[in-house]
Amino acid sequence: MSRTAATVPVIPGFHPDPSVCRVGDDYYLANSSFEYVPAVPIWHSRDLVAWTQVGNALVRDEQFPAARAGDSGGIYAPTLRHHRGRFWLITSDVGDPHGGQRLFRADAIEGPWSDAIELPELRGIDPDLCFTDEGECLVTYCSWTGGPSAVWQAAIDADTGRVLDPPRLLWGGTELGHTEAPHLYRRGHWWYLVVAEGGTERGHGVSVARSRSPRGPFESAPHNPVYTHRSTERPVQNVGHADLVERPDGTWAAVHLGVRPRGMTPSFHVNGRETFLAEVDWVDDWPAFRPSDAIPPAGAWDVDDRFDRLHPRWVSPRARIEDFARPVQGGLEVRGVEGSGVYTRLQALHWTAVFDVDSADADSVVHAEIRLDDRHRVGVRIAAGTATAIWTVGGAMVELGSVDATRGRLEIASVASATGGPDDVMLTADGQSLGTIDGRYLSTEVAAGFTGRVAGVRVERGVAIVRRIAITES
């Protein structure tokens, strides 16, 4: 896949459902994080193209009890807004038995963010938060109340979470169905309701409706969907879930998700849903989307970490990293906790990941691995001086090969596929080959779910010292 503006995400890797807001000349963005913690990565940019992660919003168990989240469960589709000197974040915790939405606030984008203000009456996903000029705070969200997915709305007191009027149906969407991810904006005398439709797969797209009031009634755009790549051969597919922002000069842009599928039909995407940038023009008071011409610099997402501190890129499924790992002299000490590990999202299409790992005791069992979910992963296990490549797909676990390992230097690489898949994944230990797998088995089209590949270290038993993890685009 050639490197052009039409193919390069502004935030690559498993960073879906982007939500953006502007404060002066600064832009801030949040993504879904599902079962991983710390949750909801937060980004800063001055131009909507070059982004730097400044933290994660949800870092405490009181904010998000991640232990209950299954694969592709947890935190869905946040909306990030700024109002009267304060940042606001609203999201859904799909594992919450009480349902409803969860609202957070912070005086600074880096946090600390408040504990959740719970909105159990507003059951659904993908909540939007809109502060009107009249002083109302409207929560607009996707719900299946009484039938297919549709857009619902209620006014709340943002300080207390009190729902001020009964939730009501706002718009049922178009015939594309699967109406979700609403966002509400004012431009001139019109209020615009931007939604995702068609499902988050190949039929995904952006639809729009407008009204003179944020409470409706809304009329559908005559040419919905206003943005989609369905039924095309474009290298980026599944585009949708857009959030719009106005620049200081009065031009508009949108961040949205998309995927980069590769290989033979039906083609396979492995990095999850990524964040892309589009330009938005206004034609007859309707938004018209076009891909951005901006290209982030090559190599901007390479990782070389020796763990003198814990960068916000590192996450773990269902367990806080601080509960089982800590920076020490010479690396990161990681203790064995079931189901946990220290991972970062893979962001290039082809890459090489190098892991320097030492076992802290003779009984330690350590894995350097690529994870899609608990049932789809591949890596190298170090135990009792032996390195073994382990491949897990569905309910099966296969040992690909073993060698004596003296230094604990492990390498996993994604290379061009020899069999029509998205890539091949090669595993080595101390320079000795352990095996190669077809990357299709670590793709969303095979495993299902909403996340993407992550790379890192998991300690099955005992203690390990992670000296270095380096991931470079190749």
How far is Cα 259 from Cα 16, in angstroms, rounded to an integer?
Answer: 9
Catalytic residue status for 17: yes
Contact 5, 292 (CB under 8 A): yes
Contact 251, 288 (CB under 8 A): no
Contact 426, 415 (CB under 8 A): yes
Q: Which alpha helices (H) appear in 127-199, and where do they start and end?
A: none
Residue 182 pairs in a beta bridge with: none
The pair of three-digit structure tokens given for residue 8, joined into one six-digit string:
């390069």
C-alpha dist (Å) from residue 305 to 26, 309, 410, 471? 28, 9, 15, 9
Q: Choosing from 17, 274, 305, 333, which is the catalytic residue? A: 17
Q: Choosing from 93, 96, 128, 180, which is the catalytic residue? A: 180
Radius of gyration of the chain from its Cα atoms, rounded to whole angstroms: 22
Residue 463 pairs in a beta bridge with: 335
How far is Cα 335 from Cα 41, in angstroms, rounded to an integer?
Answer: 24
What is the DSSP track for 301-321? Answer: T-EEE--SS--TT-BEESS-G
How far is Cα 468 from Cα 462, in angstroms, rounded to an integer?
Answer: 19
The neighbour count for residue 323, using CB atoms within 10 Å, is 13
Q: Which residues are catalytic?
A: 17, 180
